[in-house]
Amino acid sequence: MAVSYRTVIVDDEPLARERIRTLLKRHPEFEIAAECADGPAAVAAITRMSPDVVFLDVQMPGMDGFEVLRAIVPRETDRPGEKDEAGARTGEKIKSERTPAIIFVTAYDQYALRAFDSNAFDYLLKPFDRQRFERTLARVSRQIETEKRDHLSARLEALVRALQPSPRFLERLVVRTAGRVTFLKAEEIDWIEAAGNYACIHTGAEAHLLRETMAMLESKLDPAKFVRIHRSVIVNLDRVREIQPSFHGDAVVLIRGGKRLPLSRSYREKLHQHLGA
């Protein structure tokens, strides 16, 4: 029985799709199941057809190749009936045993450096010649036959993790008071205390009122640098000098400048973990 690899071509440029289609004509074992010109169409086709191989363009408007990859790799958080940004139901995503071999196609080698060699099957840097394309097909054929499907799934899941953007935390705060706008760098903050519907930001000898809840500020600030030590206090870890015991299991945090801040029992362990104590 002849070997056959169901193949999907994804590229927003018609000439690019034609180039891959033409080069595949010499390899009838690669059966072209679909051609897609955008990300949402690619997610739908890959989900429906469960291909063996996908030639995936990186730079596409709206939904790029990285977003397509994240959409087709199964995730533990998927729930039947939910829909992702491409309109595909997450409960219908590709099962791990049908995870395709992804061949990235890109015009910029900066993308090729983003964990391709360690996690993706291969990549083609535009413009690529027939020899480079042939090497890619040979590699794909060899690895599909020798690697188990769970290995392919693990490879793609690793790539998705590598491509996840790092969490973005506030680097500065904008405080508006009396027609004046003040910009505060996060690193300048000593501590923050709740003040009704506001948060009072302390920077050295100055204090600034910001209309923001403590919970919202805590979620926006880098948790490796700012820790909540009381329901009404957040402290910059770089300012902590000493922790002193108090009554009933509570404690006091002494920060640079001599300010003493309350440390409640419910937050004490978390602060100790951050300080390595």
pLDDT in tens, 118-170: 356 778 888 889 999 999 999 888 877 766 555 666 666 666 666 666 567 88
- pLDDT of 26 above 50: yes
Query: What mean pLDDT comes out for the span 77-96?
Result: 41
Task: Count other C-beta atoms under 10 Å from residue 207's C-beta.
Answer: 13
Cβ contact 58:103 at 8 Å: no
10 Å CB burial of residue 49 (0-12, 13-18, 19+) is middle
E strand segments, the chain: 5-10, 30-36, 53-57, 101-106, 122-125, 172-177, 180-185, 191-195, 198-203, 206-210, 226-230, 233-236, 240-245, 251-255, 260-263
Give the least confident one: 33-37, 85-89, 99-103, 133-137. Answer: 85-89
Q: What are the tokens at 90? A: 């997450």
Query: Distance between CA atoms of 60 and 42, rounded to whole angstroms?
Result: 11
Q: Tell me, what's the pLDDT at 140? A: 87
Query: Distance between CA atoms of 126 and 25, rounded to whole angstroms?
Result: 19
What is the set of domains in the chain, with CATH numbers? 5-163 (3.40.50.2300), 172-275 (2.40.50.1020)
Confidence of residue 112 (pLDDT cuts 50, 70, 90): low
- pTM > 0.85: no
CA-closest candidate to residue 36, choices 3, 64, 8, 69: 8
